[in-house]
């Protein structure tokens, strides 16, 4: 931006300006917005954009982490640090029923995601009465995301109707809604995974160290490398975790998140590996494999982010 | 798979990534961005072309490729070969139907640019999706099946792209492999299209012979079309000029989104610069107030900027404390846009529920949100023949030219000059649906020439003389609910209390003021609008006005409410169940309606939208008209 004569913005400058514009529209038109914060790299970019959008004010909304209690320890550490640094309020929500019933990723499979995340999210939004929730989903992640609007309207029961989406023209967003209804807003819809990495690199945005390669204790489950992050991990009789140099392309609940063997320890190396790799980003997550090719679309109709 | 792709220099990035990632990142960081749409008929091969672009630019990963190969064999339409369309078609329903039904956005990179592709449906009923995808596009690729030539759909897509202001049009004559790469066929199609394009005002386009399936002229020149010397598709996409570059050369305009006020020492105005550029020291003007100041700082978290241009989101500070808030437009002091409240516009209707002429909708333009009413269309355009057709309203997917009026002046420019200050959406005030997209063509002179005549005797003085507060007592309810009877009782009581009143009755008004109106939905809306205006004038004169109209639509009652000062519109819901009203059938109308002799009768074949929170509700099953009137009077006290 220091070159005064240059008029054509780069793609990252345009994407950043678009995301900031979207965040400001929401703050101007919604009553009670919130930023969904899952501590992953997309959340990191979202938080950074929010700080840019309202600078020198702190972002005028809280961070919401719908927690499952099964995230990596390093994620909890960074979460608390970022909330402090940004001067934003951090709200953490646990689904009490999932807690009481001891729902966990080892014994309950899909029910774990459904109760802790999908139901937990709905409960959290209802509890605080948020009418607009920012999410870091991108259209390049998955087929049904590619068709979702930037302002994605939800019914009072949090349902998404892909056949009945509001047309979205130019950069005019319709945030009108009735009481009880809400919108999910995706300011980085038009970013790709590479854009996210490059933006983190250019802006020195703090991310969870697990994205970088390191020696970590792992076991193999269903062809995935799972990191043994705490002593809740049920090892098979005689099984001993193996130290491997691994890193994560995506971060979720540690027992459900597959690692890749890697030595990439800098951002350029990570980007290099990402670009040369031959498996797509969400493959490390078990969630998309449910219900055949329509897994994510079905989850979204039920209220998943 | 046979593949005629010539791998040009465009995608030879893999070695660079492997050998010098820093150099690659530097290259990627400086890429520009082009947004384009692809449109064509159902079988023109849009999804296949996009799938091909993703595939060739290595935007398909191995696991996706495995799934694609498996799906191609299972549900694909290309035999044992890869069906690229499966990669692009997203939602479950359309996988089964084999058609694209909504706008989907896809991404790919070349060495020079990042691309966002809107995949737009070719189906007849989905004009709204195409307009949506086209509204953010710098360029349109219009696909034609070489075997079929220029079709009705081709004309429609071209017209819509032109309407929404896309300057760069690529005519991609696809499936050339199926006509043996015949130059004569290509030339024939281009000649046909040229003739049509001229007739709708498209003076420039780039035609190219391609095969999305085989890869001809997608990247690099195809050996199968030696007679074609123009650019290949990707080469063209990489070099064409983007809109934001053109916007930067226009005069400065920035709609204010949000006022940034963290403490008493800082007051900044945040927004996305629509056109032009701005720097500290620039003299600016805030519209519509016209106040002027000087830019003191252009603030971002990366530090104060020496300049900012169209397409950037910034926060601007002024040297002076002048009023400026969301909805205002900051512009160059000596070249500001105008404000007006009446316009000619082109409107694309996007909702199943047709336009209600005269009803108030929210109009959002830039960051301005106002109430607007649309006049009856001058004409609609038949998108297949481009003929102008007379129309009373706008139905789903209709495109029409109509005048509109806003309830207060908005800062605007013609859409052809400025997409941000000329493009708008209309929002239904009850359902909150985005019902239309529109483009302002020009403001109507009369809005500058029709002024309010200031009068010396104010409405307060009219009211004081009568020793009462003016009100409009708006009775609403089904036919036969007892509105007129109760209103009459209320007026009698008020008269005994020495109040100055007037009763406007539905049947009576239709004998005079509104005798030109029938009972269609549009006419009923106009009926209520006129009654509302008359009631407002009488309230201005200090009267307590009673109106007895079915007034079935919530939006129309809200329109009248919005004409009056707060607290002066009293909605009285005469709440009588349909069975009761029908059993009474004082005028014999229900019988006629049931027999089909009376069309659009409220409660029978036309809806009644009951008030949700009326000021007063009376129940005529439990109350006599006299009791209901007494209840209303009690609620109205005190009258002054």
Considering the domain architecture, whether residues A154 and A271 belong to the same structural domain is answered as no
Considering the domain architecture, whether residues A218 and A191 belong to the same structural domain is answered as no
Q: Is residue A88 part of a domain?
A: yes
Considering the domain architecture, whether residues B534 and B588 belong to the same structural domain is answered as yes
Of B183, B210, B243, the residue at which a domain comes to its end is: B243
Q: Is B551 a catalytic residue?
A: yes
A276 has a chain B CB within 8 A of its CB: yes
Instruction: For residue A9, list chain B residues with Cβ-Cβ distance below 8 A.
Output: 32-33, 244, 309, 311-312
Considering the domain architecture, whether residues B287 and B380 belong to the same structural domain is answered as no
Put simply, the chain B residues between 506 and 525 with a CB less than 8 A from any chain A CB are none
Q: Is residue B612 part of a domain?
A: yes
Q: Is residue A3 part of a domain?
A: no
- pLDDT band for position A41 (cuts 50, 70, 90): very high
The residue assigned the tokens 């492999």 is B177
CATH (domain of A124):
3.40.50.620
- Residue A283: φ, ψ to 5°: -60, -25
The number of folded domains in chain A is 2
Structure tokens at B542: 């200090």
Query: How far off is chain B from A2, nearest CA to CA, in Å?
Result: 7
Number of H helices, E strands in chain B: 21, 28
A237 has a chain B CB within 8 A of its CB: no
CB neighbours of residue A273 within 10 Å? 18
Q: How many CB pairs under 8 A join A and B?
A: 211
Considering the domain architecture, whether residues A91 and A122 belong to the same structural domain is answered as yes
- Give CA–CA dist A280/A267, Å, rounded: 18
Q: Which domain holds residue A226?
A: 205-286
Model confidence pLDDT, tens digit, residues B571-624: 999 999 999 989 888 888 898 888 888 888 888 888 899 998 899 999 888 889
CB neighbours of residue B130 within 10 Å? 25
Considering the domain architecture, whether residues B422 and B550 belong to the same structural domain is answered as no
Q: Is residue B487 part of a domain?
A: yes
Q: Is residue B1 part of a domain?
A: no
- pLDDT at position B13: 60
DSSP conformational letter for A60: S
Instruction: For residue A56, list chain B residues with Cβ-Cβ distance below 8 A.
Output: 260, 262, 266, 299
CATH (domain of B328):
2.40.30.10
DSSP conformational letter for A12: H
Considering the domain architecture, whether residues B314 and B347 belong to the same structural domain is answered as no
pTM of the model: 0.79
Put simply, the chain B residues between 528 and 587 with a CB less than 8 A from any chain A CB are none
Q: Is residue A1 part of a domain?
A: no
User: How far are the Cα atoms of A96, B573, B574 from residue B480, in angstroms, in the given order?
Assistant: 54, 13, 10
Q: Is residue A140 part of a domain?
A: yes
Considering the domain architecture, whether residues A40 and A188 belong to the same structural domain is answered as yes
Structure tokens at B181: 């790469």
ipTM score of complex: 0.89
Q: Which of B337, B170, B166 is nearest to B251 (CA)?
A: B337
**Most trustworthy range by pLDDT among A249-258, B419-428, B625-634:** B419-428
Least confident of A270-279, B159-168, B277-286, B539-548: A270-279
Of B208, B243, B278, the residue at which a domain comes to its end is: B243
Considering the domain architecture, whether residues B480 and B609 belong to the same structural domain is answered as yes
Q: Is residue A86 part of a domain?
A: yes
Q: Is residue B454 part of a domain?
A: no
Q: Is residue A4 part of a domain?
A: no
CATH (domain of B536):
3.40.50.300
B325 has a chain A CB within 8 A of its CB: no
CB neighbours of residue B613 within 10 Å? 7
Query: How far off is chain B from A100, nearest CA to CA, in Å?
Result: 36
User: How far are the Cα atoms of B48, B145, B358, B459 from residue B178, in angstroms, in the given order?
Assistant: 15, 9, 53, 77
B31 has a chain A CB within 8 A of its CB: yes
Considering the domain architecture, whether residues A146 and A240 belong to the same structural domain is answered as no
B92 in Cβ contact with B110 (< 8 Å) = no
Q: Which of A254 and B13 is assigned the larger pLDDT? A: A254
B17 has a chain A CB within 8 A of its CB: yes
Alpha-helical segments (H) within B213-267? 233-239, 243-248
The residue assigned the tokens 């790799």 is A277
CA atoms within 13 A on the CB side of B525: 20
The number of folded domains in chain B is 4
Is there a contact between A11 and B248 if contact means CB atoms under 8 Å apart? Answer: no
Residues β-bridged to residue B141: B38, B170
Is there a contact between A172 and B365 if contact means CB atoms under 8 Å apart? Answer: yes
Put simply, the chain A residues between 172 and 211 with a CB less than 8 A from any chain B CB are 172, 174, 176-178, 189-190, 192, 194-195, 198, 201-202
- pLDDT at position B53: 83
- pLDDT at position B89: 57
Q: Which domain holds residue B366?
A: 338-449
- Residue B329: φ, ψ to 5°: -120, 125
Considering the domain architecture, whether residues A175 and A282 belong to the same structural domain is answered as no
Q: What is the mean pLDDT of chain B?
A: 86
User: Euclidean distance between the first and final Cα of chain B, in Å?
Assistant: 86
Q: Is the pLDDT of residue A194 over 80?
A: yes
Is there a contact between B364 and A172 if contact means CB atoms under 8 Å apart? Answer: yes
Burial A169-196 (b: 16+ CB within 10 A, else e): bbbbbbbbbeeeebbbbbbbbbbbbbbb
User: How far are the Cα atoms of A150, A257, A305, B131, B254 from residue A117, in angstroms, in the given order?
Assistant: 21, 15, 9, 36, 40
């Amino acid at each position: 931006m220091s070159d005064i004569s240059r008029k054509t913005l780069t793609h990252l400058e345009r994407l950043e300006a678009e995301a900031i514009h979207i965040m400001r529209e929401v703050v101007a038109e919604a009553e009670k917005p919130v930023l969904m914060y899952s501590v992953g790299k997309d959340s990191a970019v979202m938080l950074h954009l929010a700080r840019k959008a309202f600078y020198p004010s702190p972002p005028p909304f809280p961070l919401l982490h719908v927690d499952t209690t099964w995230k990596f320890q390093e994620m909890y550490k960074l979460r608390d640090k970022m909330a402090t640094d940004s001067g934003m309020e951090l709200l953490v929500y646990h689904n009490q029923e999932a807690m009481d019933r001891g729902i966990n990723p080892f014994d309950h499979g899909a029910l774990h995601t459904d109760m802790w995340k999908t139901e937990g999210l709905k409960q959290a939004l209802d509890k605080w009465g948020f009418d607009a929730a920012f999410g870091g989903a991108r259209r390049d992640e998955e087929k049904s995301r590619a068709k979702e609007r930037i302002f994605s309207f939800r019914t009072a029961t949090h349902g998404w109707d892909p056949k009945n989406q509001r047309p979205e023209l130019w950069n005019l967003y319709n945030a009108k809604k009735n009481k009880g209804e809400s919108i999910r807003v995706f300011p980085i819809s038009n970013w790709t995974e590479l854009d996210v990495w490059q933006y983190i690199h250019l802006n020195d945005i703090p991310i969870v160290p697990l994205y970088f390669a390191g020696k970590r204790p792992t076991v193999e489950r269903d062809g995935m490398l799972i990191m043994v992050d705490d002593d809740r991990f049920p090892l098979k009789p005689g099984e001993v975790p193996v130290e491997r140099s691994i890193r994560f392309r995506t971060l979720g609940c540690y027992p459900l998140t597959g690692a890749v063997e890697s030595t990439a320890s800098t951002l350029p190396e990570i980007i290099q590996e990402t670009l040369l790799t031959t498996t797509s980003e969400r493959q490390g997550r078990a969630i998309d494999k449910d219900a055949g090719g329509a897994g994510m679309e079905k989850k979204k109709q039920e209220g998943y982010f | 798979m046979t593949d005629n792709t010539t791998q040009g220099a465009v995608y030879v990035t893999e070695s660079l990534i492997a050998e010098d990632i820093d150099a690659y990142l530097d290259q990627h960081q400086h890429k520009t961005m082009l947004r384009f749409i692809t449109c064509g008929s159902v079988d023109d091969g849009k999804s296949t072309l996009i799938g091909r672009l993703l595939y060739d630019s290595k935007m398909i990963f191995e696991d996706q490729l495995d799934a694609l190969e498996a799906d191609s064999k299972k549900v694909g339409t290309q035999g044992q070969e890869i069906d690229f369309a499966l990669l692009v078609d997203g939602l479950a329903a359309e996988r089964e139907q084999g058609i694209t039904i909504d706008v989907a956005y896809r991404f790919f990179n070349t060495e020079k640019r990042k691309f966002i592709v809107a995949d737009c449906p070719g189906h007849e009923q989905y004009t709204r999706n195409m307009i949506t995808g086209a509204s953010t596009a710098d360029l349109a690729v219009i696909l034609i099946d070489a075997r079929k030539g220029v079709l009705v759909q081709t004309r429609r897509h071209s017209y819509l792209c032109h309407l929404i202001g896309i300057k760069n049009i690529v005519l991609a004559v696809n499936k050339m492999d199926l006509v043996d790469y015949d130059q004569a066929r290509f030339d024939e199609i281009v000649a046909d299209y040229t003739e049509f394009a001229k007739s709708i005002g498209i003076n420039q386009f780039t035609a190219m012979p391609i095969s999305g399936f085989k890869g001809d002229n997608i990247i690099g020149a195809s050996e199968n079309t030696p007679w074609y010397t123009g650019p290949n598709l990707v080469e063209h996409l990489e070099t064409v000029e983007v809109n934001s570059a053109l916007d930067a050369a226009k005069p400065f305009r920035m709609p204010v989104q949000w006022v940034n006020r963290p403490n008493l020492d800082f007051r900044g105005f945040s927004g996305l610069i629509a056109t032009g550029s701005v720097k500290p020291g620039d003299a600016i003007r805030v519209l519509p107030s016209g106040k002027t100041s000087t830019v003191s700082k252009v603030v971002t978290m990366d530090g104060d900027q020496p300049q900012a241009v169209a397409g950037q989101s910034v926060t601007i500070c002024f040297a002076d404390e002048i009023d400026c808030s969301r909805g205002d437009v900051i512009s160059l002091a000596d070249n500001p846009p105008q404000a007006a409240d009446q316009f000619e516009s082109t409107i694309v209707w996007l909702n199943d529920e047709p336009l209600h002429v005269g009803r108030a909708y929210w109009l959002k333009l830039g960051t301005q949100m106002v109430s607007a009413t649309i006049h009856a269309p001058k004409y609609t355009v038949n998108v297949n023949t481009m003929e102008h057709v007379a129309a009373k309203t706008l139905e789903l997917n209709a495109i029409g030219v109509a005048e509109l009026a806003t309830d207060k002046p908005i800062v605007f420019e013609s859409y052809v000059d400025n997409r941000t200050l000329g493009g708008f959406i209309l929002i239904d005030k009850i359902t909150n649906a985005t019902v239309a997209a529109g483009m302002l063509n020009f403001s109507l002179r009369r809005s500058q020439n029709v002024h309010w005549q200031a009068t010396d005797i104010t409405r307060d003085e009219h009211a004081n003389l009568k020793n009462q507060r003016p009100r409009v007592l708006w009775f609403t309810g089904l036919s036969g609910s007892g509105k007129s009877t109760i209103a009459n009782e209320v007026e009698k009581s008020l008269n005994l209390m020495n109040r100055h009143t007037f009763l406007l009755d539905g049947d009576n008004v239709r004998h005079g003021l509104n005798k030109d109106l029938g009972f269609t939905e549009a006419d009923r809306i106009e009926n209520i609008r006129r009654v509302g205006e008359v009631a407002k004038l009488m309230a201005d004169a200090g009267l307590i006005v009673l109106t007895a109209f079915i007034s079935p639509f919530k939006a129309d009652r809200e329109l009248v409410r919005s004409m009056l000062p707060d607290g002066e519109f009293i909605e009285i819901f005469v709440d009588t169940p349909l069975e009761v009203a029908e059993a009474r059938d004082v005028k014999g109308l229900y019988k006629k309606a049931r027999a089909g002799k009376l069309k659009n009768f409220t409660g029978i074949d036309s809806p009644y939208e009951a008030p949700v929170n009326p000021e007063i509700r009376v129940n005529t099953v439990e109350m006599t008209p006299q009791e209901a009137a007494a209840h209303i009077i009690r609620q109205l006290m005190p009258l002054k």
